[in-house]
Amino acid sequence: DAGVTQSPTHLIKTRGQHVTLRCSPISGHKSVSWYQQVLGQGPQFIFQYYEKEERGRGNFPDRFSARQFPNYSSELNVNALLLGDSALYLCASSPLGGNEQFFGPGTRLTVL
Amino acid sequence: SQQGEEDPQALSIQEGENATMNCSYKTSINNLQWYRQNSGRGLVHLILIRSNEREKHSGRLRVTLDTSKKSSSLLITASRAADTASYFCATDARGSGNTGKLIFGQGTTLQVKP
C-alpha cells in the first residue's frame, strides 16, 4: 500500500511569493495534519483537517492556510513568504480514532 | 512551542551498545509516542505508550513513562548502525479534543558507529 505522499519534494521561492504544498493521505485515512520543522528543531503543528473541516490550528499567522478535498488530499498554502518560513513541511495522516500518525517524506521549502 | 526537552541532544555509541534517551513534557497527556527521523526526511512511528501504562516493549525498543515526573525514556538495545537517526518524543495533550495535534520535543540525534 502507498504511504503518505507529498509534492513537490523541494521548492525554492523568494520573499513575498506564495507557495502551495500538496499531500495525499494513506487510502482510508480521513485526517490530515501539517507540521513545520525548522532545521535542528522538532516538528511544530500547523493544522489538522478531518472530513474537510479544520479541527485544530497551531500558533501560526494567517499567512498559513489549508484545505482538504473530498478525496481527503490536502493543500497547505503560505502567502507573503518570509525567510523564516524556510523549513521542512510534513504532512501526516491518521485513521479515524487513531493516535499514531503516518508521515510523508516532506517538502523542503527554501525562501531566498 | 515545544512541549519539553529531550536529553541528551546528541548521543554517540558503538554498535552493540544500548542507547537511552529521555523526554520531559509539560502538560497532562493522553499518550506519548516516539518517532524516528532519518536525514531530515519523514518521521517513522516507533511506539506509543498510553498515560495509564508504565512500560512497553517492541522488539529492541523499551519505553517507560512516569506521569508523576512528566517524563519518558526510550531504550534501544543492541544498537546497529542502521539505528543512526534523530529520535523525537511527541505527546497527545489531554483535552486536545482529538485535534491530531502532536507536540514534539527537540529530538536526540543518535549516531551508532560500526
Closest chain B residue to A107 measured between Cα atoms?
A: B41
Mind listing the pLDDT tens digit for each residue in A6-47? 999 999 999 999 999 999 999 999 999 999 999 989 999 999
The pairing of strands B43-50 and A74-78 is unpaired
CATH number at residue B36: 2.60.40.10
Taking one residue from A and the other from B, the number of pairs with CB-CB distance under 8 angstroms is 76
Query: CB burial class (10 A; 0-12, 13-18, 19+) of residue A112?
Result: exposed
How many domains does chain B divide into? 1
Of B35, B42, B104, the CB nearest to A106: B42
In a domain, B13, yes or no: yes
Residue A1's pLDDT is what? Answer: 61
Tell me whether residues A43 and B88 touch, CB distance under 8 A: yes
In a domain, B1, yes or no: no
Contact indicator for A107, A96 with CB cutoff of 8 Å: no
Q: Whole domain around residue B74: which residue ranges?
A: 6-113
Mind listing the pLDDT tens digit for each residue in B23-48? 999 888 889 999 999 987 889 999 99
Of A40, A88, A101, the CB nearest to B45: A101
Any residues with CB less than 8 A from the CB of A71 and at least 6 apart, and which?
A: none
Rounded average pLDDT over A56-82: 96
Contact indicator for A79, A63 with CB cutoff of 8 Å: yes
Please name the residue ranges forming H helices in chain B.
Answer: none
Give the span between the Cα atoms of B71 and A11, in whole angstroms.
37
Which CATH number is A5-111 given? 2.60.40.10
Residue B6's pLDDT is what? Answer: 86
Q: Provide residues of A within 8 Å CB-CB of chain B.
A: 4, 31, 33, 35, 37, 39-45, 48, 50, 55-56, 58-59, 88, 90, 92, 94, 97, 99-106, 108
